[in-house]
Amino acid sequence: MTERSVAGAGMAGLSRRLVLAGLGASLAGRLAAAQSARQPFPAWVESFRAPARAKGISDAVYDRVMGGVTPDTSVYARDSAQPEFREQLWQYLNRRISEWRIRTGIAAYKANARLLKKLEGDFGVAPDILLGLWGMESAFGELVTDPDHMKPVFNSLAALAWGEERRRRYWETELINALAIVQRGWGTPQAMLGSWAGAMGHTQWMPEVWLNLGIDYDGDGRVSPYEVGDALAGTSRYLLKRGSYQRGIPWGFEVSLTGVPAKLADERTTRPVEAWGGLGVKPAGGGRFSHPKAVARLWAPVGADGPAFLLTKNFYAVKSYNPSMNYALAVCHLGDRVLGGAPFVTPFPGGERPLTLAEVQEVQKRLTAAGFDTGGTDGRVGNMTMQAVRDFQQKAGIAPADGYAGLEVLQALRGR
């Protein structure tokens, strides 16, 4: 049995920014009010035929798809209903770059090494970046068709286009994009499964990304994010077109800031790596920088006492996929770890080592035995395990009740 809701899967690129920008805690109430003021769903479906037709969607395709849609109104509350977890950066990284995910990534790399080498030759995107994105977005394909995580996208998009008043135009456009995918013969309504907001496949494309950046990399006559080659090729194209990825340079370097004024780590100023070296910035593990001419910014995410990084434009290419520095760092570090890289040299202040795979499974098993539903005991930590941990913390009086499955929780469970 697998975890039924694994944080880390998401929606691609600019579409992700549009989706996440405005859905707040009062979303369910606003949408319910908007929905009640609009047409009943069957009437709306018929009225939406005209704008779909104006964008080239045939009546035959429209009837085929929309005639079978049942609006998934759970999407209205999905964002606000998710448990709120305030993770520190070291917790965020530990949970996403777990032993389970690294092992799964190594197996995925071994199975796809030739493909990744070909993709690098064709697009210039290094395997570590693609592996990191693949691992973050779908756990290396583990979630692509997981029925507990991925739902029929037309039910979701139709519900949002019908009832989400404030962002209706965006959802209407994405619904039409999804209809266009069916019309092109690239997908079927039954096979198009995705996140609550309609992101699909190995690297979680929104319909707009599928249509405009997808590539038939395996030559089977269709573009599909559910096929590994197409998914990674389209994501490579995304990084090039929308992230300005640059062939041949790494995403960045972990550095030592000993003797370097803290004000220099402003994550805004750009200098060649060798110029940063002239200011006292050194590789954290010693030695010399491998790309002294690369232009980079200096970032100390938790201050001078924690890990610090020189970030090249390829880090920001990753960030174009999701506008979060923490996300981009997790992607880049996950890719490095899958390819044999070491943990960061400098520890996080107040941080702790991540639990091993066996320890995570022990936490899940002990929580399950105590009546807390983790959704599975396979060693991967998603929202159900986090919620179970938080419920246990609250019951056991462990503060903060942050849902983090760490050493303290493990020891408390062993002491029951």
Task: Tell me the DSSP string of 30-73.
Answer: HHHHHHHHS--HHHHHHHHHHHHHHTT--HHHHHHHHTT----T
Cα torsion angle, 140, 141, 142, 143, sign:
positive
Total domains, the chain: 2
pLDDT band at residue 165, thresholds of 50, 70 and 90? Answer: confident
Which pLDDT does position 32 carry in this prediction?
A: 52
Residue 337, phi then psi, degrees to nearest 5:
-65, -40
Which pLDDT does position 211 carry in this prediction?
A: 97
Model pTM? 0.89
Residue 281 domain flag? yes
Distant-in-sequence, close-in-space partners of 42: CB < 8 Å, separation ≥ 6: none
Which pLDDT does position 159 carry in this prediction?
A: 95
Dump strand ranges (E) for 89-191: 151-152
User: Which tokens belong to 84?
Assistant: 């709120």
Each residue of 248-266: b (16+ CB within 10 Å) or e?
ebbbbbbbbbeebeeebbe
Residues 356-375 have pLDDT tens digits of: 999 999 999 999 999 999 99
Give 32 or 308, the one with higher predicted confidence: 308
Give 38 or 243, the one with higher predicted confidence: 243
Specify whether the CB–CB gap between 123 and 156 falls below 8 A.
no
Flag whether pLDDT at 12 surpasses 50: no
Cα torsion angle, 95, 99, 100, 106, sign:
positive
3 state DSSP class of 412: helix
Flag whether pLDDT at 74 surpasses 70: yes
Residue 373 domain flag? yes
Flag whether pLDDT at 242 surpasses 50: yes
Residue 289 domain flag? yes
Residue 277 domain flag? yes
Residue 274 domain flag? yes
Which pLDDT does position 29 carry in this prediction?
A: 52
pLDDT band at residue 35, thresholds of 50, 70 and 90? Answer: low
Based on its alpha-carbon atoms, the radius of gyration of the chain, rounded to whole angstroms, reads 23
DSSP 351-403: --PPPPHHHHHHHHHHHHHTT---S--SS---HHHHHHHHHHHHHHT-SS---
CA 45/CA 339 separation, integer angstroms: 48
Residue 392 domain flag? yes
Residue type, 228: V
Q: What is the mean pLDDT of the chain?
A: 90
Residues 380-400 have pLDDT tens digits of: 888 889 999 999 999 999 999
Residue 283, phi then psi, degrees to nearest 5:
-60, 135
CA 94/CA 258 separation, integer angstroms: 25
Flag whether pLDDT at 58 surpasses 60: yes
Give 38 or 132, the one with higher predicted confidence: 132
329-337 mean pLDDT: 98
Flag whether pLDDT at 214 surpasses 90: yes
Residue 368 domain flag? yes
53-70 mean pLDDT: 97
Give 145 or 227, the one with higher predicted confidence: 227
Which pLDDT does position 82 carry in this prediction?
A: 44
Domain of residue 267: give its range: 252-311
DSSP 204-265: TB-HHHHHHH---TT-SSS--TTSHHHHHHHHHHHHHHHH---TT--SEEEEE-TTS-GGG-
Residue 407 domain flag? yes
